[in-house]
Amino acid sequence: MKRLTGFFVFAALVISLPVLMPNNYFVTVVGVTIGLHIILAVSLNLFMGFAGQISLGHAAFFGMGAYTSAILTTHYGVNPWLAIVVALFLVAVVANVIARPILKLKGHYLAMATLGFGIIINIIMVQEVQFTGGPDGMSGVPPLSLFGWEIDSDLKWYVVIAVVMLFSVLVSLNIVESRAGRALKAVHGSEIAAQTMGVDTVKTKNQVFVLSALLTCFAGSLFAHQQAFVSPVSFNFFFSIELVTMVVLGGLGSTFGAVFGAIVITLLPELLVVFEDYEVLIFGAILMSIMIFLPQGLFVGIAQWLRNAVIKRSARAGQEA
Amino acid sequence: MFDQLLQFLITGITVGSTYALVGLGFAIIYNASDVVNFAQGEFVMVGAMSAVWYLGVGLPLPVVLVFSVLTTVVVGLALYKLAIEHARGASVVTTIIITIGAAIFLRGAALLVWGKDIYALPHFSSETPIRIGAATMLPQNIWVMVVTALVVYLVRHFFDKTLMGKAILGCACNRTAAHLVGINVPLMLLTSYGIAALLGAVAGLLIAPIAFTSYDAGIMLGLKGFSAAILGGMGSSMGAVAGGVLLGVLESLGAGYISSGYKDAMAFMIILLVLFFKPSGLFGRKSAERV
């Protein structure tokens, strides 16, 4: 139970915010985007933080979820939930097919391959105008409804996204402590050492890649229905980098680090709205300085510093007593 | 039929020359410091954009070219001094993220200084097309090809014949050994960032009269340059040059015969195939990984 204390505190916070401030713009409007970004950052962290791999193309899976849902519901009148299932199935197939050749690569090569994959998917979104509406995107994606309960307000979306988000955080927290999580950590440390210890590294990496892609795809479908609009800009190379920034800012390998990174990176442009032109510059500066000065991430760094301070103080108290 | 092919080849070799220069920059930095510099494309942008700025101030073209190359070299040196040097011994993922951060930072800075407009540089000489059969070619195309060939030759000469070039190669081989024989390793690393920036700037200046430039022109060029380096085989500098020209030609043929909308996608498809089936590239040697 102690292991999940952090989760319960976080869940309580997520639930109490809209109850205390139901009309706050930052809670109900920005909160929905934050929730989506948390799902994305937590899933990317599974792949980058836990398995020690790198993906510069995760926006592609987000976009595949969003576009599959949008195309099936608007062009073919498919039930939104069925469309989500189809999207998940499609991404599962794609992720499984590319996992083997892509995950054989390491470092720069893996970065380049995921990046190339992301760009190709984005170009398809722009080019296949008859399905995707091209660069203008497509509007009129119908809202979701749950047993006749139409999800049509910011507050209702907050609830739905919060549930999915808490679920993905829980999944992520539990994976670390599981057998699979230990295998991931071993792969992260040294693949060859993990292999000699009997870990099936290929299978482990593939599984976490597919899981990460599926969570990301699900968030994409939700995004399409929530925005009622999709366009290629939301899924381009820069968004992939933004996701990496979230994970890195919080601290690679920490679930709550990813949560923290997603919150900060989503709130930053909202708060800096007066400095619109500086946004890109600030993103770049954050990425660089975190990696140079605090490679373990802001959240993890602060948490460690606090822990050390507490330990020092109690040690001193122990000496005096 | 043949004229059309010739036209595609001219376009392909011209664009490919830019990729070749950017790819060569990648290879030089990768060889010297084991860092893949994702900000390489930004050097191209800074070169071209600062040239536009110097022209606007009223300087004559030759002076503009020299000044903008120098400006870019300063940016390259600053990138090494301010970012890369502090992160010595960092993991591959860390250095990738640092250089991507640097690229985004430079792009943001360019956006602030020059705005979102698209600029063009004047052609270096006449703009009258030269006819070759039914195909045409601008004098600027010749400028691109000739200057690229010259620069590649000079870089090759630098690494083969000069003491400093050999010293940099020494660092690439074994940094500790290089240090032990008295080579100033940090200076050599700094120099290789300067050379890479210079190559990027030259590429930007050559292509800007034909392809225009804007604050975000660096991303695609950088990625294509990186692709060129991978296609040729990372670590082989002349491989990067060949990879660049080859990529340019394949892209141009693909755009002409298959679909122009999928031009960029084609380059990345080629790279994915190369990575999947021959990750060491066309001219690279297979090496065992140290554990």
pLDDT digits (tens, 9 = 90+) for A132-141: 999 999 998 9
Question: Do A292 and B271 make contact, defined as CB atoms within 8 angstroms?
Answer: no
Predicted local confidence at residue A102, as pLDDT: 92
For residue B98, give the nearest of A102, A104, A291 by CB distance.
Answer: A291
pLDDT digits (tens, 9 = 90+) for A140-167: 898 888 777 788 788 889 999 999 999 9
Whether pLDDT at A294 is above 60? yes
Question: Do B262 and A277 make contact, defined as CB atoms within 8 angstroms?
Answer: no
Question: Do A190 and B261 make contact, defined as CB atoms within 8 angstroms?
Answer: no
pLDDT digits (tens, 9 = 90+) for B89-134: 778 888 888 999 999 999 999 999 998 899 989 999 888 888 888 8
Q: Which of B35, B75, B105, B258 to mutate to test the interface with A (most CBs of A within 10 A)?
A: B105
Question: Do A120 and B269 make contact, defined as CB atoms within 8 angstroms?
Answer: yes
Whether pLDDT at A292 is above 60? yes
Whether pLDDT at A273 is above 80? no
Q: What mean pLDDT comes out for the span B252-256?
A: 91
Q: Nearest to residue B127, comparing CAs of B116, B141, B115?
A: B141
Residue A202, Cβ density class (10 Å: 0-12 exposed, 13-18 middle, ≥19 buried)? middle
For B:91-120, CB contacts with A below 8 A are: 92-94, 96-98, 100-109, 111-112
Question: Do A248 and B103 make contact, defined as CB atoms within 8 angstroms?
Answer: no
Predicted local confidence at residue B289, as pLDDT: 52
- pLDDT-derived band at A320 (thresholds 50, 70, 90) equals low
User: How many C-alpha atoms does A126 have within 13 Å on its Cβ side?
Assistant: 18
pLDDT digits (tens, 9 = 90+) for A19-48: 888 777 788 788 899 999 999 999 999 999
Q: Which residue's entry shows tokens 């999947």?
A: B276
Contact status, residue A187 vs residue A199, Cβ threshold 8 Å: yes
DSSP secondary structure letters along A131-155: HH-GGG-EE-PPPPEETTEE--SHH
For residue A237, give the nearest of B98, B219, B262 by CB distance.
Answer: B219
Q: Which of B86, B97, B100, B223 to mutate to test the interface with A (most CBs of A within 10 A)?
A: B97
Predicted local confidence at residue A1, as pLDDT: 56
Distance to chain A for B211, nearest Cα, Å: 20
A54 neighbourhood in chain B, CB within 8 Å: 92-93, 96
Average pLDDT, chain A: 89
pLDDT digits (tens, 9 = 90+) for B21-69: 999 999 999 888 888 899 999 999 999 999 999 999 999 999 999 999 9
Q: What mean pLDDT comes out for the span A84-98?
A: 96
Predicted local confidence at residue B66, as pLDDT: 96
What crossing angle do the helices spanning A179-189 and A154-177 adopt, rounded to 10°?
70
Token pair of B73, please? 């070299």
pLDDT digits (tens, 9 = 90+) for B143-173: 999 999 999 999 999 998 999 999 988 887 8
A298 neighbourhood in chain B, CB within 8 Å: none
Interior/surface letters B191-219, b for 16+ CB within 10 angstroms, e for the rest: bbbbbbbbbbbbbbbbbbbbbebbbbbbb
Q: Which residue of A has its CA nearest to B86?
A: A292
Whether pLDDT at B290 is above 70? no
Predicted local confidence at residue A190, as pLDDT: 82
* ipTM computed for the complex: 0.88
> In this structure, which amino acid lies at residue B207?
I
Q: Which residue of B has its CA nearest to A54?
A: B93
Q: Which residue of A has its CA nearest to B99?
A: A288
Predicted local confidence at residue B43, as pLDDT: 96
Q: What mean pLDDT comes out for the span B207-227?
A: 90
